[in-house]
Amino acid sequence: MSKLNAAFEQFDAYNQKDPNTFTWESITYPQEYFLALKLYEWVNKLDPDASEELLLASRSQHIGRWEIPRNTYPEGREAYLKWRKDLAQYHAEKAAAIMELVGYSPEQIARVKQILLKQKIKVDHDVQTMENALCLVFLQFQYEDFHPKYEPEKVINILKKSLLKMDAHGHQFALGLHYSEKGLHYTQEALKLINS
């Protein structure tokens, strides 16, 4: 087995322990396992020549996410941002430990951590591809359940922030997804704000 496949096997086995579930097309999966597979698929669509490090990062982006729940931090934006930062570091360390176990070099591990921590977004091609893919996973699989729970203004604002992290290449794919009438309207409004 190649190092890449060995790492994927370990990442997937870890994410299959997620007690949270995600149902798609009447099949229920461990949530982070499903989302990791979809993130990997999107990275391959966005960049058919993706580097091995980007592929590794895509499959381990949120590894073990359920182990640090949001409710273990106080309410409020500052605590939320601290939680997100701590989670990113946690994912990077988990992925690094598995990569070391299957025989990756320190240089390759450092590169995967760089992508997972989203360093140099908008400048680093791999980091930008990952950000595009993350936003596309949200739009394709989570957005339609998400937007009915909030006021239109809040939905448009959240979409605007997500779309701003993407580049033109990512936007093309985002506009090609299937949305409900309301979901499409919010997406178009968010894009108008970005382009105005």
Determine the pLDDT at residue 175.
87
Other Cβ atoms closer than 10 A to 1: 9
Determine the pLDDT at residue 192.
86
**Domains annotated on the chain, with CATH:** 3-140 (1.10.3210)
DSSP summary character for residue 178: -
Determine the pLDDT at residue 196.
74
Rounded to whole angstroms, the Cα distance separating 185 from 17 reads: 37
* H helix runs in 103-151, sequence order: 106-116, 125-137, 143-146
Determine the pLDDT at residue 84.
92
Determine the pLDDT at residue 86.
95
Rounded to whole angstroms, the Cα distance separating 43 from 112 reads: 14
Rounded to whole angstroms, the Cα distance separating 154 from 186 reads: 10
Q: C-alpha 139: how far from its chain's center?
A: 11
Determine the pLDDT at residue 115.
96
pLDDT tens for each residue of the chain, 196 residues long = 799 999 999 999 999 999 999 999 999 999 999 999 999 999 999 999 999 999 999 999 999 999 999 999 999 999 999 999 999 999 999 999 999 999 999 999 999 999 999 998 788 999 999 999 999 999 999 999 999 999 999 999 999 999 999 998 999 999 899 999 999 999 989 988 887 7
Instruction: Supply angle C-alpha 141, 145, 146, rounded to 5.
Output: 100
Structure tokens at 190: 């968010």
Instruction: State residue 87 phi and psi, 5-degree precision.
Output: -60, -45
- In the Cβ-directed half-sphere of 57, how many Cα atoms lie within 13 Å? 30
Residue that is written with structure tokens 């690094």 in the block: 96
Determine the pLDDT at residue 122.
80
DSSP summary character for residue 70: G
Q: Which region, left, alpha or beta, applies to residue 143 given φ > 0 means left and ψ of -120 to 50 means alpha?
A: alpha
pTM for this prediction: 0.93
Determine the pLDDT at residue 195.
78
Determine the pLDDT at residue 20.
97
Rounded to whole angstroms, the Cα distance separating 22 from 26 reads: 10
